[in-house]
Amino acid sequence: MLHRLFATVIPGALLGATLVAAPLAAETWQMSAHDPDGNFHTENIRQFAADVGEKSGGALTLDVKSNAVLLSRTDLKRGVQRNVVPIGEVLISALANEDPIYAADSVPLLATTFEDAKKLWDASKPVYEKKLAGEGLKILWAEPWPPQGIYMKTPIESAADLKGVKFRAYNPTTARFAELMGAVPATVASAEIGQAFSTGVISGMLTSPITGVDSQAWDFVKHYYDLRAFIPKNMVLVNQAAFDALPPESQKALTDAAAAAETRGWAMAEEANDKATETLKTNGMEIHEPPAALVTDLSSVGKTMADEWVASGGEGVAEIMRAYRP
Q: Over the range 17-38, which residues count as b (16 or more CB within 10 Å of their CB) and which as e?
A: eeeeeeeeeebebbbbbbbeee
Domain 27-324 part of CATH 3.40.50.300: no
Helix (H, G, I), strand (E, B) or coil at 236: strand
Please give the single-letter amino acid code of residue 10: I
pLDDT value for 151? 98
Q: How far apart are CA 163 and CA 184, in angstroms?
A: 8
Residue 239 has pLDDT above 60, yes or no: yes
| For residues 111-117, average pLDDT | 97
| For residues 290-299, average pLDDT | 97
pLDDT value for 148? 96
How do residues 4-59 score in pLDDT, each as one tens digit? Answer: 333 334 344 434 444 443 444 799 999 999 999 999 999 999 999 999 999 999 99
How do residues 55-100 score in pLDDT, each as one tens digit? Answer: 999 999 999 999 999 999 999 999 999 999 999 999 999 999 999 9
pLDDT value for 326? 87
pLDDT value for 313? 82
Mean of per-residue pLDDT scores for the chain: 92
pLDDT value for 62? 98
Instruction: Please state the pTM of the whole predicted model.
Output: 0.88
| For residues 108-133, average pLDDT | 97
How do residues 137-175 score in pLDDT, each as one tens digit? Answer: 999 999 999 999 999 999 999 999 999 999 999 999 999
